Every structure is written in C-alpha cells, then in structure tokens.
Amino acid sequence: MALKASVFKFKLNVSDLERNVYEDFSLSLARHPSETDARMMLRLAAFARHASEGLSFGRGISTDDEPDLWRKDLTGQIELWIDLGTPDPERVRKACNRAQEVALYCYGERSLSVWWRKHEEDLRRFKNLSVFAISDEHYEALGGLAISGADLQCTLAGEELWLNSADSSIAIAFEVLRAAELG
C-alpha cells in the first residue's frame, strides 16, 4: 500500500519590506512521504519570498512537468517558476524556456558545491534564472518549524528572512549564486 502525503496547514503573515507586500495567507502544504520537514518548510519560505496573488504550490516532488511553486497570468502563461534542490540542467533549461522568471533554491552544501561547479557556466546563459543557496544549518532549522496549524510570521529584508512561530524564531540568509538579468 502506498503511503499518502501528510497535509500541514499554516497561517502565514508576510511582511516584505523591499517589495511592500504585507499580507496574510492560509496555506495547506502536502508533504510527500519522501520529502523532509526541512524541504517542505523551504517551499514555504520560497512562497514567502515571492508572495503575490496567484502564487501556488505545484503538485509535488513526484511531478516532473511542474515546479514546486509557480505563478501564472490570466492567459495561463507562466510568470514565475520556483524549484528546490539541484535539478538536472535540462530541467532548468525547460523551465527557463517556459517561464518569464525562474528561481532555484538550492540546499545540501556538499552536493550543491559540486553541482554548481559542474553547471555554473551552462546556467549563466539563462538571463531569467536566479539561483539561491541556503546553508545546511538554516535548512535544518526550518524543519523545526513544521508544526501543522502553526501561525507563522515572516519578515523579509534583502536576502534575509526571519520566520517566527509562537515558540521559535530563525533568521535565514540566502546566498545569491546568480541573479536574473531581467529587463
């Protein structure tokens, strides 16, 4: 018998000081049995960093043709494609061809450094691609906030994100490996 996804519900208050976004969101995140709490919470952090009308979660890590998060315009065109991890460069190429903007959130410092050294030159040709890295320490700390029903407050300034629950608080600094060159 196949294991089912666990559903986590969160109330998220986002205060993005750079983009002047101040909103409350009620989110339901389905965590695939093979997904860790830390990865699920990184999806939530990526949601907070790009919070906007129409941003939604994809169908999950077992779906090859959808990102972890995306935003489409009213015609169905993909405005923003967000993936987590260190995907195959072919997947990144397809995402960059399908979306106006692509954001990649990488984790796993050891494997990330090898992946980035190997693919950095190829990925530089995609002007609409941003690549961010999160340290192992911050990634693991995110997992501690995976409590269904939690009220979370997120404050963003620059590349820093502060995520607070009733009894925990973490600060995360995303390293920019590559910034998109959008016109």
Q: pTM for the complete prediction?
A: 0.94
What pLDDT score does 55 carry? 97
- CATH number of residue 126's parent domain: 3.10.640.10
Report pLDDT digits (tens) over 146-166: 999 999 999 999 889 999 999
**Count of domains for the chain:** 1
Q: Is residue 157 part of a domain?
A: yes
Q: Is residue 3 part of a domain?
A: no
Q: Is residue 4 part of a domain?
A: no
Q: Is residue 1 part of a domain?
A: no
Q: Is residue 91 part of a domain?
A: yes
Report pLDDT digits (tens) over 59-104: 766 567 799 999 999 999 999 999 999 999 999 999 999 999 999 9
State mean pLDDT over 19-33. 94
Contact call for residues 12 and 27 (beta carbons, < 8 A): yes
Domain boundaries, position 40: 11-178
Q: Is residue 53 part of a domain?
A: yes
- Contacts of 3-6 with CB under 8 Å at 24 or more apart are 3/33, 4/33, 5/30, 5/31, 5/32, 5/33, 5/60, 6/30, 6/31, 6/33
